[in-house]
């Protein structure tokens, strides 16, 4: 293939071409040191500088106030599902969860599996998880150590448009699939975490942003690698970090900064999503949006056609036209376009045109 | 710098130049698909093929018999230290450990931290961990679920030259720092694990080779991501794997195969290590080898000079001459040359020459 695919993968997902080209350029030799970034010690001054710079870039881009730690961890959001209750749920305390779909479910089920008490503060099960619960429906258990939300559900294609005010109860958000897609008031959150492989970089590193008061007085008799305190005290260098993944996150953050920051990302993301949602909404029912319009995600745009046969035909023709990753998640079927930060406007224009064209030929 | 550094880093460590150049070439576009390997779904046919091919390569190179699973995990050996007792130590069972130094200690201390019973089957503490215990000194507790050894201690620079026969007791080895440095009879082991960042690739992935009978009847109420059974059942695709690290391991394994396999690695490693150990042994006491000669590591070659001042001077001049990573581990001081598979003969020749030259100037 001579040109770039129209990459709508749900994750791992598209990376900015400029970032890939920069990474390619310096893969064999990093900053004139005669070695690749993959070959240097994590105790070297070069890696320590990269570690710090990446934290600083994220602070700047997200407007993270003082009093938060930024950790680079391994094991994906799936590991956070265990670490959060293991670290924060002391005996007698409850984990409150908003149940918005498959990822929220994995989070609270892991807490239950480990013997913790879990409270479902709100659920959109009655709506088949195709909308986000109203904020005023959320009932936080009085003994809650935290309220956990999944800010964006990649499978259903729903996204919190506003975040709940939780008062003194720490708000914890899994932002794996929408971090940095729009500005967020970090001060409302006690903790934000995200696997890198959607908006931050390649897979292999998970970012956790944790308010320092949460890091006090945590249990010490859990697996060392699952202790936030250990990673915080060691500035994410307790053991060998996933150096190359952190390096790639660094490049992606610089790319966001050079391209106008998170505000500019939001503007572009809204324009990109509008192209696809318009193609759905103007199709007179040929395309059926899955998520309730008020809960629609900027990142994962889900829709269906009248029959599975037609959907298969759509995917087949789309693949032939250079589109990748449009198949919906295997648990729900249908179609899904994941338009993360790095997916260019041009790809969304091409998809909207393809959708209109396909409709015309199949109506 | 116009040329490659003489990279003696302890880990992350040198990678073969040919591997880096290949990775560079296909970083932006993998196999003509219009995307980087970092941008594809872990459920794609391309990644599934990579996953399988990497397992097959490792099987072939190590001569892994049927009946073993190969897993790609995250969290480094440090996570294995917790996973091994959590998965294998049922109530009443004991974890036996051979204590050979800092890494062995981390392994058994993690088991103790998590409330498991630990038995020190042998220790070389009396020798300051500068030698491996005699095999006939190892006393395995009768209730042992396993005997755990650290096949190579990167800090002391010691290495098992032969492995113990443990009869019916499963033998588990942390081979993080010497996997693939020489042929090993895998059938003697119930489990071998290794963080990638020494002989396998960059950091970010840990390989576990587990005999299938060990995977039966494991506890289910431990964190999902720490369950071997989950990763085995899902062929290391339970959650998003560290795609790029696995890709790099794949390239490194191909490089080993193209360069004669593990037998050839051993030959070269012995020749490389001999260059340095000869420079030590022929120095008439100017250089003092740390490890007992019968326990010397092929991978981490540790030595001292008469004074810390002289050691500092050695490191400074070595750095100026293009050598990297020769400082001993911060916990023990002294000097250490890590000559993993990817460190070329030429680098070891240069170091041996530098050592002789430095000795001449400072005697």
DSSP symbols for B151-204: SEETTTTEE-SS----TTSPEEEE-TTTTTSS---GGG-SEEEEESTTTTSSSS
Does B196 reside within a domain?
yes
Does B6 reside within a domain?
no
Catalytic, B220? Answer no
- How confident is the model over A28-60, as pLDDT tens digits? 999 999 999 999 999 999 999 999 999 999 999
Residue A235: its pLDDT value, please? 97
Q: Are residues B216 and B82 in the same domain?
A: yes
Does A77 reside within a domain?
yes
Give the model's confidence band at B3: pLDDT under 50 very low, under 70 low, under 90 confident, else very high.
Answer: confident
Q: How far is CA B123 from CA A122, A251, B120, B137, B259, in A?
A: 55, 46, 7, 9, 37
Residue found by looking up tokens 């008061």 in the block: A213
In 3D space, the residue among A181, A208, A182 whose CA is nearest the CA of residue A76 turns out to be A208
List residues bridging with A194 in a β-sheet.
Answer: A207
CATH of the domain at A46: 3.40.640.10
In 3D space, the residue among B208, B181, B207, B219 whose CA is nearest the CA of residue B93 turns out to be B219
Checking if the pLDDT of B199 tops 80, the result is yes
Q: Are residues A333 and A244 in the same domain?
A: no
Q: The domain containing residue A183 runs over which residues?
A: 19-258
Give the distance from residue B137's alpha carbon to the nearest chain A alpha carbon, in angstroms: 30
Catalytic, B185? Answer no
Taking the CB of residue A247, how many other CB atoms lie within 10 A of it? 24
Q: Are residues B150 and B222 in the same domain?
A: yes
Mean pLDDT, chain B, whole residue set? 97
Q: What residues of A are in contact with residue B42 (Cβ under 8 Å)? A: 12, 203
Pairwise CA distance, residues A280 & A289, whole Å: 6
- How confident is the model over B287-331, as pLDDT tens digits? 999 999 999 999 999 999 999 999 999 999 999 999 999 999 988
The number of domains in chain B is: 2
Across the interface, whether the CB atoms of A204 and B242 are under 8 A apart is answered: yes
Pairing of strands B191-195, B152-153: unpaired
Pairwise CA distance, residues B198 & B10, whole Å: 7
- How confident is the model over A87-108, as pLDDT tens digits? 999 999 999 999 999 999 999 9
What is the percent of chain A with per-residue pLDDT over 90, rounded to a whole number?
98
Q: Are residues A220 and A269 in the same domain?
A: no
Across the interface, whether the CB atoms of B1 and A224 are under 8 A apart is answered: no
The catalytic residue among A3, A112, A198, A257 is A198
What is the percent of chain B with per-residue pLDDT over 90, rounded to a whole number?
98
Q: Are residues A212 and A293 in the same domain?
A: no
Give the model's confidence band at A3: pLDDT under 50 very low, under 70 low, under 90 confident, else very high.
Answer: confident
Q: Are residues A329 and A210 in the same domain?
A: no
CATH of the domain at A348: 3.90.1150.10
Q: Are residues B271 and B358 in the same domain?
A: yes
DSSP class of B321? T
Does A14 reside within a domain?
no
- How confident is the model over B73-127, as pLDDT tens digits? 999 999 999 999 999 999 999 999 999 999 999 999 999 999 999 999 999 999 9
Residue A305: its pLDDT value, please? 98
Q: Are residues A187 and A251 in the same domain?
A: yes
Which residue does chain A place closest to B198, by CA atoms?
A: A39
- The token pair that represents A230 in the structure block: 């250990």
Does B318 reside within a domain?
yes
Radius of gyration of chain A (CA): 21
Residue A2: its pLDDT value, please? 55
Q: Are residues A203 and A278 in the same domain?
A: no
Average pLDDT of the residues in B330-336: 93
Mean pLDDT, chain A, whole residue set? 97
Q: How far is CA A240 from CA A189, A229, B75, B249, in A?
A: 28, 16, 9, 16
Average pLDDT of the residues in B27-36: 97
Q: Are residues B224 and B295 in the same domain?
A: no
- How confident is the model over A260-301, as pLDDT tens digits? 999 999 999 999 999 999 999 999 999 999 999 999 999 999
Q: Among the three residues B226, B258, B290, which one is the final residue of a domain in this structure?
A: B258
Does A1 reside within a domain?
no
The verdict on B294 touching A (C-beta cutoff 8 Å) is no
Residue B1: its pLDDT value, please? 45
The verdict on A238 touching B (C-beta cutoff 8 Å) is yes
The verdict on A229 touching B (C-beta cutoff 8 Å) is no
Q: Among the three residues B205, B225, B258, which one is the final residue of a domain in this structure?
A: B258
Interface test with B, best of A75, A176, A201, A246 (most B CBs within 10 A): A75
Contacts of B311 (CB under 8 A, 6+ apart): B304, B305, B333, B334, B335
What is the percent of chain A with per-residue pLDDT over 70, rounded to a whole number?
99
Does A3 reside within a domain?
no
Q: How many helices (H) and strands (E) does chain A have?
A: 9, 14
Give the model's confidence band at A328: pLDDT under 50 very low, under 70 low, under 90 confident, else very high.
Answer: very high
CA A104 to chain centre: 13
- How confident is the model over B240-269, as pLDDT tens digits? 999 999 999 999 999 999 999 999 999 999
Q: Among the three residues B212, B230, B258, which one is the final residue of a domain in this structure?
A: B258
Give the model's confidence band at A1: pLDDT under 50 very low, under 70 low, under 90 confident, else very high.
Answer: very low
**CA angle (B331, B333, B335) in 5-degree steps:** 130
Q: Are residues A148 and A123 in the same domain?
A: yes
Checking if the pLDDT of B2 tops 70, the result is no
Whether residue B10 is preceded by a cis peptide bond, meaning omega within 30 degrees of 0, is no
Does A2 reside within a domain?
no
Catalytic, A220? Answer no
Q: Are residues B211 and B116 in the same domain?
A: yes
């Amino acid at each position: 293939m001579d040109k770039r695919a129209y990459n709508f993968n749900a994750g791992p997902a598209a990376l900015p071409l400029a970032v890939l080209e920069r990474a390619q350029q310096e893969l064999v030799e990093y900053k004139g040191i005669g070695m690749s970034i993959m070959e240097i010690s994590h105790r070297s001054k070069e890696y320590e500088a990269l570690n710090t710079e990446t934290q600083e870039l994220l602070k700047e881009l997200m407007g993270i106030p003082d009093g938060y730690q930024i950790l680079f961890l391994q094991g994906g959001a799936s590991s956070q599902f265990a670490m959060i209750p293991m670290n924060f749920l002391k005996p007698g305390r409850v984990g409150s969860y908003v149940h918005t779909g498959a990822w929220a479910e994995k989070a609270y089920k892991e807490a239950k599996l480990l013997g913790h008490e879990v409270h479902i503060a709100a659920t959109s099960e009655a709506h088949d998880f195709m909308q986000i619960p109203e904020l005023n429906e959320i009932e936080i258990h009085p003994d809650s150590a935290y309220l956990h939300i999944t800010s964006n559900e990649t499978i259903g294609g729903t996204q919190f448009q506003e975040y709940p005010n939780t008062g003194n109860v720490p708000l914890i958000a899994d932002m794996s699939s929408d971090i940095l897609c729009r500005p967020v008031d970090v001060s409302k959150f006690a903790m934000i975490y995200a696997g890198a492989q959607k908006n931050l970089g390649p897979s292999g590193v998970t970012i956790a942003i944790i308010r320092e008061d949460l890091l006090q007085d945590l249990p010490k008799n859990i697996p060392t690698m699952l202790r936030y305190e250990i990673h915080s005290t060691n500035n994410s260098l307790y053991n060998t970090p996933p150096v190359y993944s952190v390096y790639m996150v660094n490049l992606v953050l610089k790319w966001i900064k050079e391209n106008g920051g998170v505000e500019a990302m939001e503007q572009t993301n809204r324009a990109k999503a509008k192209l696809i949602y318009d193609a759905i909404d103007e199709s007179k029912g040929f395309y059926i949006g899955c998520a309730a319009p008020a809960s629609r995600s900027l990142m994962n745009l889900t829709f269906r056609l009248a029959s599975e046969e037609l959907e298969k035909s759509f995917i087949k023709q789309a693949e032939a036209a250079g589109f990748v990753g449009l198949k919906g998640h295997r648990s729900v079927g249908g179609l899904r376009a994941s338009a993360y930060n790095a997916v260019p406007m041009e790809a969304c224009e091409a998809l909207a045109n393809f959708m209109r064209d396909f409709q015309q030929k199949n109506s």
